[in-house]
Amino acid sequence: MTLLQVEDLSVTYRPRDSAAVRAVNKVSFTVGHGEFVGLLGESGCGKSTLGHAVLRLLEKPASITGGTITFDGRDVTRLGEDELRPMRWTNLSTVFQSSMNSLNPVITVREQFADTLAAHPDIAGERVDVDERAGELLELVSLDRGVLRRYPHELSGGMKQRVALALALVLRPRFVLLDEPTTGLDVVVQRDILDRLRELQRSLGFAVLFISHDLGTVMEMADRVMVMYAGEIVEDQPAADMVAGQLHPYSVGLLGSYADPRDAVVDVAFTPGRPPDLSREHPGCLFEPRCPVSVDACRTKHPELLPARRGRARCLLVEVAPDGSARTPNASPRDRSGTVFSADAAARNRGPADGEPILVVEGVTKTYRTQRALGSTTTTAVDDVSFALRPGRVSALVGESGSGKSTLARLVTGVEKPGRGSIRFKDTRVDRLRRRALRGYRRHAQLVFQDPFSALNPTRTVAYALSRPLRNHLGMDGAQARRRAAELLEVVGLSPAAQFLDKLPGQLSGGQRQRVVIARALAPEPEVLVADEPISMLDVSIRAEILELLDQLVRDRGIAMLYITHDLLSARLLADEVMVLNKGVIVERGPTLKVIGEAQDPYTRRLLAAIPRPGQERAPAMAGRSDGAGQTQSLGRPPHGD
């Protein structure tokens, strides 16, 4: 039974001052009653636009330019706002991406339930008991009824998202669109909410379109998964089938970026390049420029979304046998060297584990004082933490938000001073440095920020961003700095540098920006690099690429790196040593594989358990994916448990 049927749907953005962009292009799919469908894609692929189109929430300059949306047999594509209103929330409800901002900040949670119920008296009943109804739903999502009296800012991110979920279910809708419902939340909280969601979906029987860039989550949650690329659906298969064998080369790349960090050898793929400019016409396959297995025909012929196996795929190379079975393309990859890095497991020579430490943190404690109504309370952000960084080696600091890991980054870079304990860089006590001396120290210890979108001044060129540290710390003049900036860009793989020097951050992709941020951190030739969640804001298909770059820098330049993350997989790929931080205390530490493979502390285990596992166990498709070597950059290495 079909509940939602989307046919040939196109959405075009027509901004006033630039070319029209076709964000969604002739997309067709169905969602059955009670079905859980995943929509997977990277930022900018059009998945959220598609979601908003289905909900008929598009706003100018975006509009539906073709196709139909049929909900429960009724064409809703061109219904006016007044006709849509009674359908909204009673039939189609939604949970938005940013839990931070989807609740009205100036009214209580109760009021946001109340206005929803009041807007639909025919479904909710004229005299509905708001407290009873809303309280019941809050309990469903494991929240206390007292939350009703709260304002959104009094709730944590996880609580807000639970409220949003409860709100979405208050009228018992038949279809719920979840747009990245847990992105930005801590892994453990994320896990909790998703489990709850799946349970509710089963018991209440609503259909779900689950939009996410988080592959592991989608694979695990959904019955069927659609993969979107550049405004088109490129693959659509039952989740289990897709885990077992992807049809489209893009899906192969996406799934390749996930692996179990506990394995002895971890392979992670990445797909170099970026999506095409959708304001122009492309005659061939949209993925062709990034595709490792493309053939000449791909450049001229735009593939159709054709049935394959138990689903559909949009690739010229998918060969469908008469019996319906299909084969993943396996053409010989074109030579792509020069656009990718090759990290050879054998050639990885990191610094010795027992080398002379360059930075030693000893017994460091940092407390913050918060003003309260009466007196003040103190929070211990970091409690008696000790570790050492060695040249050419990476130490990972793993923990959730609020675990104190960013405080440690600030302490190590001298931005803040510890309450107790010492931080030594070679023979210098970092915690005692003042003004000029501190500036001198910063030359040696640089920071790579989490968000490449806000770490660069949007009004200054790349050359300017890179020249500041060169002039400040190394005293270079304008021409020298520009030459050096160009060299740095080459080092971080932005080549040819001349193309990037005069660009503004807005003209670069996320991955390119993060490379610029890394180049800027490298500019004063630091000996210690603190990378605070450097890949968490990036698309999955390019995360490995940045890890690769960091790995190479550590090897080539003998930099000592403190890698801060909440993600055990990336820690496993990059770090020699792992420290797990919980509430300011290091609860577990040791060589990477040992900590991750034989986690002892319950907290570490919880972090591990929170990592989604599509298909319950490691997919055979990924283990045996040694073909297409061009797209699979093996970052894996034998356990080097020093």
Partner 1 sequence: MKFFVRRTGFFLATLWAAVTLNFLIPRLEPGDPAEALLSRLTSRTEAVDPAQLAAVRKLLGAPDGNLLQQYWEYLAALANGHFGVSYTYYPYSVTDVISEAMPWTLVLVGVTQIFSFVVGTALGAWAAYRRNTRTDSLITLGSTFLGTLPFFWIGLLLIFVFAITLNWFPEGGGYGGGSQPGWTWLFFSDAFQHSVLPALSLLITGPIGWILGMRNNMVQTLGEDYARLARAKGLPRRRIALTYGARIAILPNVTGFAIALGSILGGTVLVESIFNYPGMGRLLLEAVSNKDFPLMQTLFLFTTIGVLIANFLADMAYGLLDPRVRRKDAT
> Which positions lie near partner 1, rule CB under 8 A?
55, 57, 59-60, 81, 84-90, 92-94, 96-98, 101-107, 115-116, 119-120, 151, 153-154, 164, 167, 370-373
Least CB distance to partner 1 at residue 164 (A) = 8
Neighbours of 337 (CB within 10 A): 8
Least CB distance to partner 1 at residue 119 (A) = 5
- Residue carrying structure tokens 């901004």: 15
Cα–Cα distance measured from residue 536 to residue 162, given in angstroms and rounded to the nearest whole number: 23
Least CB distance to partner 1 at residue 59 (A) = 8
Least CB distance to partner 1 at residue 291 (A) = 35
Asked if residues 23 and 278 have their Cβ atoms less than 8 Å apart, the reply is: yes
Determine the 3-state secondary structure of 365 from DSSP: strand
Structure tokens at 627: 């073909």
Least CB distance to partner 1 at residue 115 (A) = 6
In this structure, what is the dihedral angle of CA atoms 578, 584, 585, 587, given to the nearest 10 degrees?
Answer: -50
Least CB distance to partner 1 at residue 151 (A) = 4
Q: How are strands ordered across the β-sheet holding 577-582?
A: 445-448, 528-532, 560-565, 394-398, 577-582, 585-591
Element (H, E) at 301: none
Cα–Cα distance measured from residue 559 to residue 339, given in angstroms and rounded to the nearest whole number: 24
Residue among 371 and 616 whose Cβ is closer to partner 1 = 371
40 has which bridge partners? 212, 227
Cα–Cα distance measured from residue 103 to residue 98, given in angstroms and rounded to the nearest whole number: 10
Tell me the three-class secondary structure of 491-554, residue by residue: HCCCCCCHHHHCCCHHHCCHHHHHHHHHHHHHCCCCCEEEEECCCCCCCHHHHHHHHHHHHHHH
Least CB distance to partner 1 at residue 98 (A) = 6
Residue among 100 and 608 whose Cβ is closer to partner 1 = 100
Cα–Cα distance measured from residue 381 to residue 368, given in angstroms and rounded to the nearest whole number: 7
DSSP3 helix / strand / coil % (the chain, rounded to 5): 35, 25, 45
Q: What is the DSSP letter of 374?
A: S
Q: What is the DSSP letter of 286?
A: T
Cα–Cα distance measured from residue 511 to residue 530, given in angstroms and rounded to the nearest whole number: 18
Least CB distance to partner 1 at residue 447 (A) = 28
* Long-range CB contacts for residues 482-486, cutoff 8 Å, separation at least 24: 484/523, 485/519, 485/523
Cα–Cα distance measured from residue 124 to residue 328, given in angstroms and rounded to the nearest whole number: 50
Residue among 377 and 507 whose Cβ is closer to partner 1 = 377
Least CB distance to partner 1 at residue 211 (A) = 14
Asked if residues 292 and 334 have their Cβ atoms less than 8 Å apart, the reply is: yes
Cα–Cα distance measured from residue 556 to residue 542, given in angstroms and rounded to the nearest whole number: 21
Least CB distance to partner 1 at residue 76 (A) = 13
Residue among 203 and 371 whose Cβ is closer to partner 1 = 371
Asked if residues 259 and 267 have their Cβ atoms less than 8 Å apart, the reply is: yes
What are the phi and psi torsion angles at 279 (to 5°)?
A: -85, -5
Q: Exposed, middle or buried, 394 (CB in 10 Å: 0-12/13-18/19+)? A: buried
Residue among 55 and 544 whose Cβ is closer to partner 1 = 55
Closest by Cα among 173, 143, 179, 174 to 158: 143
Residue among 334 and 369 whose Cβ is closer to partner 1 = 369
Neighbours of 72 (CB within 10 A): 16
Least CB distance to partner 1 at residue 370 (A) = 7
Determine the 3-state secondary structure of 363 from DSSP: strand
Least CB distance to partner 1 at residue 193 (A) = 17
Residue among 120 and 442 whose Cβ is closer to partner 1 = 120
Residue among 47 and 637 whose Cβ is closer to partner 1 = 47
Least CB distance to partner 1 at residue 56 (A) = 9
Least CB distance to partner 1 at residue 165 (A) = 12
Determine the 3-state secondary structure of 593 from DSSP: helix
